[in-house]
Amino acid sequence: MVTIQESARVRGFSGRDAPSYDAIRKCVHCGFCLPSCPTYRITWRERSSPRGRIWLMKSVAEGRLDLLDPVFAEEMNLCLNCRACEAVCPSGVHYGEILEASRAQLVQHQPRSPRERLFRFVGFRLLLGDMRRFRAANRLLRWYQRSPVRTLVRRSGMLRPLGLQRAEALLPRLADEFVVADGRFYPAENDRRGRVALFVGCIMSTAYSHVHRATIRVLTRNGFDVVLVSGQQCCGALHVHSGEPQLGRQLARRNIDALESPYLDAVIVNAAGCGAMLKEYPQLLRDDHGYAERARAFAAKVRDVLEFLVERGLTAQLGPLPWTVTYQEPCHLAHAQRITQQPRVLLRAIPELRLVEMAESALCCGSAGIYNLLRPDMASALLARKLDNALATGAEAIVSANPGCMLQLEAGLRERGVRLPVLHLVEVLDRAYQASAASSSVALPLD
Ligand code: SF4
Ligand code: SF4
């Protein structure tokens, strides 16, 4: 059998983060995954399908295609890493793993422009590498968002030459108060059933802090103490997905150091992308003797909040919400974590709430981390399709469970001039508890 290292040395990939040749060879080219692939469904091009991409990886691994061939780089980057292909593959190909390793190879070997190097250094190391710096930058951005400077900057046209126009437009409104992992403790409101840590993450803690507060309220109402354990960092998903696994490993170690505790029943995550990453720490740290076993024990405690609530059961009484909603499945919840039923179970548990399923609810909305900034054409095509499907349901709100999807949907609705709330599912549960406390229904929030 060819070992990963041997195959890497002689077949075009090299070094520690080379894709496993054995994993690549698991693909039997059946094509079962093609209808699930968003980029294939937009382009109808074999090379832009999972099977086509795995064929390209195999060609590089076997030395038949140069790692730096532009077609290889283009297809590795056009892929959304949504992992819809992985979820339906009968051969069990771990597509996300080999894609991320292929991207790591490109980052290691492909020449980068000074602009891209600067972008990676500032984004991945300076900002996402330390949450204090990240929050300081977010405070500055918050001031910018609320000051007349924003209008002046937009009117000046300086964002376009800097390549920041789309990023600035996509920037979510940052919260007046961030949720900080400062050791704060929220005791269970009702009969105590356990203690959990909330993983606060990066953008969730600054732009979606209201979702964190709703999560804390829902958990404490259902009998769980919630702790904002200090020392936690960004999950590292953006790093790993962008070919920077060494930075992802550094963050993973710091998160394990901070969050592993015998006094915690679970580490709760309300961002699908972060949850998938935390659950995959054992894979990321498999060669780290000091952390491999700790990563396995840590990952075993990680739960998406929706998964956790269904697993433990709701003990507090939900009130009525006479709303019609549709559900948009985050890829890293549905495909990477295989959590598809729990969100629907929770929505259907709310009295008077009507769930109307949209077509292609599990097809990627085009957000995919920073994909919507890097590949705006494909991201926009997928977003348009997603919004068409969502609006066709006649729903009064779109419900999702990941900040990236929510950001993307909100931006798309803004562009279309459609006033429709995009809510995290835990916010919907929180409103149902408010309705229960008020003994009446609660109106849909429009802002
Ligand atoms: S990835 Fe899986 S489903 Fe897709 S072609 Fe290969 S074996 Fe078939
Ligand atoms: S991860 Fe998503 S976009 Fe990439 S090949 Fe698989 S299904 Fe297609």
Residue 383 phi/psi, 5-degree rounding, is -65, -45
Contact status, residue 101 vs residue 20, Cβ threshold 8 Å: yes
The answer, yes or no, to whether any atom of ligand 1 lies below 6 A from the CB of 35, is no
Q: How far apart are alpha carbons 392 and 445 in whole angstroms?
A: 21
The number of the ligand nearest the C-alpha atom of 78 reads 2
Distance (Å) from CA 10 to ligand 1 centroid: 25
CA quadruple 198, 204, 209, 211: dihedral positive or negative? negative
Rg (CA), the chain: 22
405's tokens: 């999807």
What average pLDDT does the segment 107-125 reach?
90
What pTM value is reported for the model?
0.92
In the predicted model, is pLDDT for residue 9 greater than 50? no
Minimal-distance CA residue to ligand 1 atom 4: 33
Given this model, what pLDDT does residue 6 score?
41
Instruction: End-to-end CA distance of the chain: give it in Å, rounded.
Output: 59
Minimal-distance CA residue to ligand 1 atom 8: 30
The answer, yes or no, to whether any atom of ligand 1 lies below 6 A from the CB of 366, is no
Q: 3-class secondary structure for 9-21?
A: HHCCCCCCCCCCH
Residues in the chain: 447
Given this model, what pLDDT does residue 163 score?
74
The answer, yes or no, to whether any atom of ligand 1 lies below 6 A from the CB of 37, is no
Distance (Å) from CA 83 to ligand 2 centroid: 5
The number of the ligand nearest the C-alpha atom of 91 reads 1
Distance (Å) from CA 81 to ligand 2 centroid: 5
Distance (Å) from CA 339 to ligand 1 centroid: 21
The answer, yes or no, to whether any atom of ligand 2 lies below 6 A from the CB of 305, is no
* Beta sheet of 422-424, edge-to-edge order: 354-355, 324-327, 397-400, 422-424
Which residue, 418, 44, 80, 446, is CA-closest to 273?
80
**Ligand 2: which of 39, 41, 375 to mutate, judged by most atoms within 8 Å of the beta carbon?**
39
The answer, yes or no, to whether any atom of ligand 2 lies below 6 A from the CB of 395, is no
Given this model, what pLDDT does residue 441 score?
64
Distance (Å) from CA 91 to ligand 1 centroid: 7
Give all domains of the chain, ordered by start, each with its CATH number: 4-109 (1.10.1060.10), 114-170 (no CATH), 185-310 (3.40.50), 318-438 (3.40.50.11810)
- Helix H segments across 280-362? 281-284, 292-299, 305-312, 331-334, 341-348
What average pLDDT does the segment 98-102 reach?
97
- Above pLDDT 70, what percent of the chain? 96
Q: How far apart are alpha carbons 259 and 200 in whole angstroms?
A: 11
In the predicted model, is pLDDT for residue 8 greater than 80? no
Confidence of residue 10 (pLDDT cuts 50, 70, 90): very low
pLDDT tens for each residue of 285-328: 999 999 999 999 999 999 999 999 999 999 999 999 999 999 99
In the predicted model, is pLDDT for residue 218 greater than 80? yes
Minimal-distance CA residue to ligand 1 atom 3: 89
Given this model, what pLDDT does residue 16 score?
82
Confidence of residue 87 (pLDDT cuts 50, 70, 90): very high
In the predicted model, is pLDDT for residue 2 greater than 90? no
In the predicted model, is pLDDT for residue 439 greater than 80? no
Given this model, what pLDDT does residue 447 score?
57
In the predicted model, is pLDDT for residue 433 greater than 60? yes
Given this model, what pLDDT does residue 364 score?
96
Give the mean pLDDT of the chain.
93
Minimal-distance CA residue to ligand 2 atom 2: 82
The answer, yes or no, to whether any atom of ligand 1 lies below 6 A from the CB of 85, is yes
Confidence of residue 446 (pLDDT cuts 50, 70, 90): low
What are the respective helix, strand and coil percentages of the chain, to the nearest 5? Answer: 55, 5, 40
Distance (Å) from CA 88 to ligand 1 centroid: 8
Among 93-97, 367-371, 375-379, 431-435, the minimum mean pLDDT is found in 367-371
What average pLDDT does the segment 233-245 reach?
96
The answer, yes or no, to whether any atom of ligand 2 lies below 6 A from the CB of 331, is no
The answer, yes or no, to whether any atom of ligand 1 lies below 6 A from the CB of 28, is yes
Confidence of residue 45 (pLDDT cuts 50, 70, 90): very high
In the predicted model, is pLDDT for residue 131 greater than 60? yes
Among 38-42, 115-119, 351-355, 440-444, the minimum mean pLDDT is found in 440-444
Distance (Å) from CA 313 to ligand 2 centroid: 34
The answer, yes or no, to whether any atom of ligand 1 lies below 6 A from the CB of 50, is yes
Distance (Å) from CA 31 to ligand 1 centroid: 5
| CA distances, 120 to each of 114, 115, 123, 128, 141 (Å) | 10, 9, 5, 10, 19
Q: Which pairs with CB-CB distance under 8 Å and at least 24 residues apart come from 43-47? A: 47/71, 47/75
Distance (Å) from CA 379 to ligand 2 centroid: 13
* Buried/exposed code over 305-321 (b: 16+ C-beta within 10 A; e: otherwise): bbbbbbebebebebbbb
pLDDT tens for each residue of 154-165: 888 888 777 777
Strands (E), 117-193: 185-186
Given this model, what pLDDT does residue 166 score?
77
Given this model, what pLDDT does residue 5 score?
43
The answer, yes or no, to whether any atom of ligand 1 lies below 6 A from the CB of 405, is no
Confidence of residue 3 (pLDDT cuts 50, 70, 90): very low
